[in-house]
Amino acid sequence: MVLAKVIGIDLGTKSVKIYKKYKGVVLLENNIIAQQKRSKNIFAAGNKAYEMLERTPKDIFVSYPVRSGVIADFDNMVKLINWYLNKINCKKGLFSNNTAYISVPWDISEVEKRAIYDLINHSNASIKKIKIIDKPIAAALGADINVQSPEGNMIVDIGGDTTEISVVSLGGIVSSKLINIGGNHLDEAIINYTKKNKGILIGSRTAEVVKMNLSTAIETNIGSIKVFGRDLVTGLPKEFEINSLEVYYAIKEYLYSIIDTIKFILERTPPELSADIIEQGIYLTGGGALIEGLPELIYKETDLKVNCVEEPMNSVIRGIGKIVEKTNTYESLIVAPKAKKYKYS
Ligand SMILES: Nc1ncnc2c1ncn2[C@@H]1O[C@H](COP(=O)(O)OP(=O)(O)OP(=O)(O)O)[C@@H](O)[C@H]1O
């Protein structure tokens, strides 16, 4: 007899993380596909495809199938999920009665949520049960918050394409807002800054390196790095230096938009829960939580202390992992399905 497996999936805009019961995180890949333009066959997937970004010949096309937290390119996402599941040995025939726990943003439409069921049903994996978890709940669990208590907690999850700001209490979402601001927008802002102020065009991977090294919410110069770009006047490659103050100027507008949304959500939070949030502070998760000085800026603008979560990029998959390991304890956190024709459980 083949044993049933339980896995958890964090299907992010930028990356995919898969957790296997008793094993921990078994897959961490960029959620990106490189394919031949004509045949649409996979040329590379995951981290290998990311390495090809902006380096491919004309007949190879590289793209991200998840955009703004939802599946934007269904066919390619099916190809990728098959590739990921194959990589962790979760393909058809191998497991008889598998269950997958998958997180989705809260503030999206039912149709967008249902696409997750379609995705798994169209995949090669023999997953019988699909259980949906609200991403803010998973992020909160991953931040070691007791999500089932009556206490209110605010989670700010700054991801690749989106920031999801949510208040959770008693295992549910009290309020949440998903805004289209994430790491990709900061990369674009850095590209636009160097184009406008230095006359140099850089690629998105270089912009991400600049962001990871220098992104700051503090208006002071704390360091610089040298990178290559293309001089827009001569057309030739050029090495140039960029410092953290320049990166601050490039991204600050986005940071303030996130803070404005935090205030927006706070204004709409019932007073009892607001009191809890004031006492506990905000929890910052997602890759964007690594922006230098962001907790201090949020504190300055909102008067709320900010709790930094360890390895904030892994918060959601850590939370899903906790659910996968203790399915009975966390059964109440599973989102109730809305339509019948899908394989809900
Ligand atoms: N040190 C850092 N400073 C700033 N940003 C960072 C840093 N490290 C990673 N990031 C950014 O964090 C983002 C990825 O975060 P995360 O893994 O939480 O996103 P995701 O779950 O894939 O996306 P989403 O939540 O939008 O679906 C990327 O844009 C990445 O560049």
The interface predicted TM-score (ipTM) is: 0.97
Q: Answer whether 266's CB lies under 8 Å from 277's CB.
A: yes
Q: Ligand 1 centre and the CA of 338: distance in Å?
A: 31
> What per-residue confidence (pLDDT) applies to 250?
98
Q: Are residues 93 and 204 in the same domain?
A: no
Residues 11, 127, single domain; the answer is yes
Question: Same domain for 152 and 277?
Answer: yes
Which residues have a Cβ under 8 Å from the Cβ of 59 and sit 6 or more positions away?
36, 37, 38
Assess whether 97 and 242 both reside in one domain: no
Residues 309 and 325 in one domain: no
CA 312 to ligand 1: nearest atom: 18
Q: What are phi and psi of 222, to 5 degrees?
A: -110, 5
pLDDT at 345 over 70: no
Q: Does residue 225 contact residue 241 with C-beta atoms inside 8 Å? A: yes
Task: Specify whether 149 is located in the same domain as 99.
Answer: no
Same domain? 151 vs 299: yes
Q: Are residues 177 and 187 in the same domain?
A: no
In this structure, the answer to whether residues 129 and 229 fall within a common structural domain is no
| Residue-level pLDDT at 58 | 87
How confident is the model over 296-310, as a mean pLDDT?
95
pLDDT at position 93 is 58
Residues 76 and 121 in one domain: yes
What are the pocket residues of ligand 1 if the criterion is a CB atom closer than 6 Å to any ligand atom? Answer: 12-15, 69, 159-162, 182-184, 208, 211-212, 215, 286-288, 290-291, 313
Ligand 1 atom with the shortest distance to the CA of 286: 18
The answer to the question of residue 54 being in a domain is no
> In the chain, helix, strand, coil percent, each to 5?
40, 30, 35
Tell me the average pLDDT of the chain. Answer: 92
H or E element that contains 83: helix 74-87
pLDDT tier at 128, thresholds 50, 70, 90: confident
- CATH assignment at residue 151: 3.30.420.40
* Radius of gyration of the chain measured on its C-alpha atoms: 21
Contact 316, 285 (CB under 8 A): yes
What's the mean pLDDT in 81-90?
Answer: 89
Cα of 184 vs centre of ligand 1, distance in Å, is 8
pLDDT band at 339 (very low <50, low <70, confident <90, very high): very low
Domain that holds residue 207: 183-250
For the stretch 14-32, pLDDT in tens is 999 999 999 999 999 999 9
The answer on whether 266 is annotated among ligand-binding residues is: no
> Is there a single domain that holds both residue 149 and residue 21?
no
| pLDDT value at residue 90 | 74
Residues 11 and 109 in one domain: yes
Q: What is the structure's pLDDT at 343?
A: 39
Residue 279, number of CB atoms within 10 A of its CB: 11
Ligand 1 pocket test target in 9, 10, 11, 13 with most atoms within 8 Å of CB: 13
